Structure 1
Amino acid sequence: MTIMQNDADFAVRLAGGDLAVDAERWDLPLRFLCGFASRRNPKRPFLFVSRVLGRHLPVHPQVMRMAHRRLGAKLDSSLPGPVVVVGMAETAVCLGQGVHESWRLMSHRDDLLFIHSTRYKLRHPLLSTFEESHSHATSHLLYQPADPIDVELFADCRTLVLVDDEASTGATFVALSHACRTQMPKLERIVCVTITDWMGVRKHAEIRAEMPARTDFVSLLEGSYRFLPSDAPPPVMPDVTGNGSCKDHLLTRNFGRLGLRKSVPLPESALAIRAKVGERILVLGTGEFVYPPFQLARRLSAMGADVRVQATTRSPIMEGNDIHGVIEFEDAYEDGIPNFIYSVRPGQYDRVLVCYETPPSTVQTPLVKLLGAEPVFFSDAKV
């Protein structure tokens, strides 16, 4: 239920209370950028649901690309290098790489490295861990880049760019920056990049005081929020933390966890997919694997198809407000935990492509059958 709405302010009644936001500066309208929903999480029962991210809601790939480019254009091309861009798992993996790729193409710099945090253990040198205290899955891992040259670049980093879909307290940025700082003795600058920034001026000042280097904030919208909890019983959060086993046998290619200078080319399995003009296609990423599916969606859109991008997630959200429909199924990483897709109905699209970085043995058969989908595997395919 909407309580009130105008160009800058919005208030909504959620399952656990009332959320009000005040937009103070924006490049694009509030309701173009995000909606709102209730999380099945007693630590934070509300959610800013991005309309340009391609995660919880289906988004046209051109809209996602526009958001990447707008944020990339806000990064100063003269920031001291080398620069490391870190995307936050799982929600901002695609956003982080999209910002990195857009900025790389705009700035023509070759000293930019993208890497993303992950929830999955690998038999690979670990640089640091940090906690996202309010999350449904709190622990993040950050691995050493695979290429020795990139290991040196990471260690020589002078500017750290941290990318997340939204910021409300800034605590995750503080935790991640200190985790990285231990491996970056030359660090001078930090830039926190988000689609929507709800921290407000006072919180910005507090966060700057806690950061280990000079810090700036970049977003498409800045504002503040207030949440008034109700006396409703707190939601029960499912266990979505995973079993902690090593996933090397599943994650055989580096799509960003071990550092990339530029995006990985699409494999033949994806390049072989053709689309008809006007065909309604949903391209689904799985978990932390979203940027290559986004690339595939852009390719199909260029063929004239009406394409949307979305991704499965371990984030538990209630139906209602801007979430219309919940489909639950098991994850594709052998954790045996529930995953979800939101606001998708069987028969809504002419074609659904579920994209996997994991082997064919991990295909989520109930999801594929329900949506009449085609699995597309990127892991061991030729490029």
Structure 2
Amino acid sequence: MSGRGRWPGEWVAHRLGVRTVDGAAPGGVRLGALTGLAVRRNPRRAHLLVSGVLGKHVPADPRIVHGAGLLLGELVRLRLRGRESTAGPYGALLANALHGTRGSAAALRDRLREPKGAVDAVVLGYAETATALGHSAADALGGATYLHSTRRHVPGVVPYGGFEEEHSHATGHLLLPSDPSVLDRDVPLVLVDDEMSTGRTAFNTLRALHAVRPRDRYVLASLVDVRGEADRVRMRNLAGELNAGIDVVTLATGRVELPPGVLDAAQAVVAEMSGRDREIDYRVDHGAVRVGLGWPPGLPEGGRHGFTPADRRRLEKELAPMAAVLASALPDGASRVLVLGTEEFMYVPLRLAEALADALPWTTVRFSTTTRSPVLAVDDPGYAIRTRLVFPAHDNPPDGATKRYAYNVDPGGDPSRAFDAIVLLVDDQGDTPDLVDGLLAVLRTLAPVVLAALPGARA
């Protein structure tokens, strides 16, 4: 992960004996450079591989987040063209960006921001963590239509299908395309996730979608692939069963070695460390300002219902003017700015953060998003999740899950990690009184907040 300090997996390795082992690096970087480790608050899985280029748990330069997604998409494009999926010169740029070399993240993004050739495909990203990653990979294909799964029920919309993510904290996924025929076209289907740990999520998805609309070719794309040999054999057997090609593309491979009894040991650590979150002083109120971005009418605010190449071209024209609105609303002298998206609403906040970083070259802009996944926080440089904020859900979730989290936003015991302005971006369904009384109120104790809500496109 980025920077030159301790590897943010040392704490877990020492306390639980969990070890990551590097494998091949098609993206030019090793598994240990892309990920750190944390402990899940989940009795089904002990550890969490924490990506430094995902924009979920760790605030990161938005250009490396988008650039890594574009690179993954470029490897997919090469594979679909029948060529070897390796990063070539882009791998060195990604490695330098992870190392913190100034200008490398922007250079990686700039080299990949224009597709190297249009490829017709359907790209499916997984909620919630991979919604922006999948969208970025679709960007690199040029001609792809993008859709991400969702855990949000939309009244009046009949799901195309659904599937389960067995090990996740929230397991159910829905597909809600506004035009179901997009999933029926005879083109390759690309499934994008941040991590392939066992491959079961992709396995379940392929079974479900192939039953509805069989096709000849699938591509599984992820930032890291840590499947064991038995999992790889299971996927090869599925390809034979479906009579379809299943290619796998990743930036880095390897494995995670878990000692016996690790689940019980992890739960013991959670019990020991619980209750150590830093107390928030709610008497502090840095204030908030709400701005309108002038979102283009009819443009989808993400891929929940589908996002076409024409939508992408339209968005590209609008990013700089909207970023200028955000820049003008920042407090004078803001030098460290966080752009914070919310759960599945990742891609547009990522792109606006990227445009803001381009517009303010002498300002440090970082990007991350909130999540529904509970993870243990330990304020130690050798641990990937240093701090957490807890607040109520603000989008009226039908599953009754009430708590949400934002990680590494609070600086904890290291004042150098503090942000002096936060841009909070939500879609209209998340713009509720619970947002104002919950997440917004918490963020206002840390820094001045600029809030913008985007109108949601309906299916």
- Any residues of structure 2 matched to 1:38-49 within 5 Å, and which? 38-49=39-50
* C-alpha deviation, 1:197, in angstroms: 0.5
Runs of at least 5 residues in structure 1 that lack an aligned partner in the other structure: 1-5, 238-251
The CA deviation at 1:202 is: 4.6
Which residue of the partner structure matches residue 208 of structure 2? 179
CA contact (8 A) 1:12 1:18 kept: no
Are 2:255 and 1:255 equivalent residues in the alignment?
no
Mapped contact 1:157–1:184 kept (Cα < 8 A): no
2:374 maps to 1:298: no
Q: Aligned partners of 1:161 and 1:70: how far apart in 2?
A: 15
Q: Could you tell me how far 1:269 is from its partner in structure 2?
A: 6.1
Taking the aligned partners of 2:122 and 2:201, their CA distance within structure 1 comes to 17
Q: Measured at CA, do residues 72 and 277 of structure 1 come closer, stay the same or move farther in structure 2, by a change above 3 Å? A: farther
Q: What is the match of residue 109 of structure 2?
A: none
Whether contact under 8 Å (1:87, 1:97) holds in the other structure is yes
Q: Does 1:25 align with 2:33?
A: no
Tell me by how many angstroms 1:340 deviates: 0.3
Which of 366, 378, 388 lines up with 1:326 in the alignment? 388
Counterparts of residues 116-135 of structure 1 (less than 5 Å): 116-122=148-154, 123-135=156-168
1:270-324 Cα distance to aligned partner (Å, 9 max, x none): 5522267973110000010010001110111011231100000000000122110
Determine if contact 1:191/1:215 at 8 Å carries over to the other structure.
yes
**Displacement of 1:182:** 2.5
> What's the offset of the Cα at 1:254?
5.3
Residues 1:165 and 1:115: Cα distance change in structure 2 (over 3 Å): same
Which whole-Å CA distance do the structure 1 matches of 2:335 and 2:137 have between them? 28
1:244 alignment counterpart? none
1:337 counterpart letter in structure 2: T
Corresponding residue for residue 71 of structure 1: 72
1:377 paired with 2:450, answer: no
2:374 matches 1:312: no
Write the deviation string for residues 79-102 of structure 1: whole angstroms up to 9, x where unpaired: 387521100000000100011012
Which AA in structure 1 matches 2:432? S
Deviation for aligned residue 1:328: 0.2
**CA separation of 1:233 and 1:299: change in aligned 2, threshold 3 A:** closer
Give the Cα separation in 2 of the matches to 1:269 and 1:287.
21
Please give the per-residue CA displacement for 1:22-81, whole angstroms capped at 9, x wherever unaligned: 111122133431100000001112100000000001010111122012111111358387
Q: 2:408 matched to 1:343?
A: yes
Are 2:300 and 2:307, in contact at CA under 8 Å, matched by a contact in 1?
Answer: no
Q: 1:278 to 1:218 in 2, by over 3 A?
A: farther
> Paired residue for 1:161?
190
Structure-2 separation of matches of 1:34 and 1:309? 17
Shift of 1:179: 1.5
Amino acid at match of 1:314: R
Q: How far apart, in 1, do the equivalents of 2:438 and 2:395 lie?
A: 15
Q: Larger Rg: 1 or 2?
A: 2
1 CA distance for matches of 2:358 and 2:168? 36
Q: Give the residue type in structure 1 aligned to 2:258.
A: F
1:114 aligns with 2:114: no
Aligned match for 1:195, one of 213, 223, 244: 223
Question: Number of matched residues?
Answer: 350
Contact 1:11-1:20 within 8 A present in 2 as well: no
- Alignment-derived partner of residue 247 in structure 1: none
Partner Cα distance (1:176, 1:343) in 2: 32
Q: Which amino acid aligns with 1:209?
A: N
When residues 374 and 332 of structure 1 are mapped into structure 2, their CA distance, relative to the original with a 3 A threshold, is same
Deviates more, 1:117-126 or 1:364-373: 364-373
Show structure 1 runs of 4+ deviating over 3 A: 10-17, 76-82, 230-237, 266-271, 275-278
Code of the aligned partner of 1:24: G
* 1:215 corresponding residue in structure 2: 246
5+ long unaligned stretches in structure 2: 1-5, 82-118, 272-298
Q: Tell me whether 41-50 or 118-127 shows the greater mean CA deviation.
A: 118-127
Judge conservation of contact 1:11–1:18 (CA < 8 Å) in 2.
no
Structure 1 residue 216, shift from structure 2 partner? 1.1
Partner SS state of residue 174, structure 1: helix
Mapping 1:209-248, distance limit 5 Å? 209-211=237-239, 212=242, 213-228=244-259, 229-230=261-262, 231-232=264-265, 234=267
Superposed displacement of residue 200, structure 1: 4.0
SS at match of 1:196: strand
* Alpha-carbon distance in 1 for matches of 2:186, 2:352: 31
From the superposition, tell whether residues 16 and 118 of structure 1 become closer, same or farther in structure 2 (CA, over 3 Å): farther
> How far off is 1:366 after superposition?
3.3
- For residue 350 of structure 2, what is the amino acid of its counterpart? F
* Correspondence 1:99 to 2:161: no
- Distance (whole Å) between structure 2 residues aligned to residue 378 and residue 75 of structure 1: 31
Supply the distance in 2 between the matched residues of 1:326 and 1:309 (Cα, whole angstroms): 16
* Aligned twin of 1:53: 54
1:142-153, aligned counterparts within 5 Å? 142-143=175-176, 145-147=177-179, 151-153=180-182
Cα distance change, pair 45–214 in 1 and its aligned pair in 2 (3 A): same
1 or 2, which has the higher strand percentage?
1
Distance change >3 Å, CA 364–CA 218, structure 1 → 2 = farther
TM-superposed deviation, 1:232: 3.3
> Structure 1 residue 201: deviation in Å?
4.6
Q: For residues 30 and 364 of structure 1, do their structure 2 counterparts lie closer, same or farther at Cα, with a shift above 3 Å needed?
A: farther
Deviations 1:226-285 (A, max 9, x none): 212344373789xxxxxxxxxxxxxx9552111111336358765522267973110000
- Residues 368, 374 of structure 1: 8 Å contact kept: no
Conserved in 1, the CA contact under 8 Å of 2:194 and 2:224?
A: yes
Q: Over aligned residues, Cα RMSD in angstroms?
A: 3.0
Whichever structure has more helix as a proportion of its residues is 2
The answer to whether the Cα contact below 8 Å between 1:14 and 1:37 also exists between their aligned partners in 2 is no
Matched, 1:361 2:432: yes
Q: Does 1:284 align with 2:340?
A: yes
Confirm or deny: 8 A CA contact 2:77 2:140 kept in the other structure.
no
